[in-house]
Amino acid sequence: MSTNPTQIGDLDRCLDLLCEAIQLTETQFNTAVNRYEAVGRWLTEADTSLDKLSPEVFPQGSMRLRTTVRPVRKQDEVVPFDLDAVCCCAVDPTRKSSQALYSQIESHLRSNANLQGRLSAEPKCLRLDYASDDFYLDIVPACIDPTDPEKIRLLIPDRARWSASAAPIDTWRRTDPLRYARWFDTQCATTTRSAELAVTASVSRVPPREPASIKAPLRRAVQLLKRQRDVEFLGRDSQPSSILLTTLAGRCYQGEVSLSAALATILDRICALISQAQGRRISVPNPAEPTEDLVKPLTDETYRRFKAMMVSMRQRLDRLRHPRTPTDFGSALVELAGTRVAGQVSARLQADLREASSQGKLAVAAGVPSLQIVKEVKPTPGVHSTPPNTFHG
């Protein structure tokens, strides 16, 4: 009976370790959640100027989708992680402008001595910077879109339309983070991992931290895409957005259970889209707001680098599976995830090798030019055991 051996450096094992290494640590996750909950309590505190607007605060973006990755560091450069929070207020957008709500929330945040020094007014949000934690919290003022029968879609500030002559309703733009999260959860489903979708949280809470090993393959593939983006675009002013990478991955994913197969399919399909465009830009509509093209904000230079990154990442995946030289595996790992993470993953793979060797579970299979780890130590046709080695020299 076959022992179903797994190759040393097996790509799924390698990618699983990569995902584990780029996840937020428990400390980072808890710090972000504590900051979010403290700010949420301040925004929803009773008997304040905001209280009469019945504010509701809830997470959106990567933390809600469970695709956040830890910060990338290189010398003085750092890509921090963030938590996006919506502060949805009960206002009539035909009577109150987005500028008025934005200013009201900003004023309330500045009235907190612990927050005012961290606060900056950004084009789409109010940002609280926790630089010592490599973290920032974005607060997005919002209200319900009255034209949505289900009262799910939101309206958020559109600063480009702020002017004294603008009608209040014209200062808002539509967004639909809750329907987007529902779409992404649906895309994550596989026939063998439907239980993963049962990990949910109430609307106001951040979904709990979960080990990389139980995440759906699509969530982990998105994390790897975002890590590659953070490495490739470190120090640059413009980069592909997380929602662009997440949407592309969600559209290209075909339900594979294996992470390596899922990532290969996603990259193959993205590269095919780029090739079929024949030099023109691809179009990636937001699944929750189809009139929004997620590629449109990219500068020409950023789009060129984005295309090159996708092709290079696919090549790096092949080099991890079939290294061309003795050093190719390690260099592809560094190019994919950065030196520190690559070192951690390599150390874990070497530990696998030492443990398997000490237990006599290393073997060479016929037609496979590499060492393998066998699950059971017993005779198997075509699989030849190697003597145990304690690596003492």
Parse the chain into domains and list their residue ranges: 25-176
- What number of other Cβ atoms are within 10 A of residue 227's Cβ? 22
Distance CA 385, CA 380 (A): 9
Distance CA 17, CA 370 (A): 20
CATH 3.40.640.10, applies to 25-176 = no
Span 31-70, pLDDT tens digits: 999 999 999 999 999 999 899 999 999 999 999 999 999 8
Span 259-307, pLDDT tens digits: 999 999 999 999 999 999 999 999 999 999 999 999 999 999 999 999 9
Span 131-152, pLDDT tens digits: 888 899 999 999 999 999 999 9
Phi, psi of 165 (to 5 degrees): -95, -10
Q: Report the DSSP beta bridge partners of residue 130.
A: 135
Q: What are the structure tokens assigned to 204, written together?
A: 């106001």
Give pTM, 2 decimals.
0.84
Per-residue DSSP letters for 82-142?
EEEEEEE----TTTS-HHHHHHHHHHHHHTSTTTGGGEEE-SSSEEEEEGGGTEEEEEEEE
Q: What is the pLDDT averaged over residues 91-112?
A: 96
Distance CA 84, CA 203 (A): 14
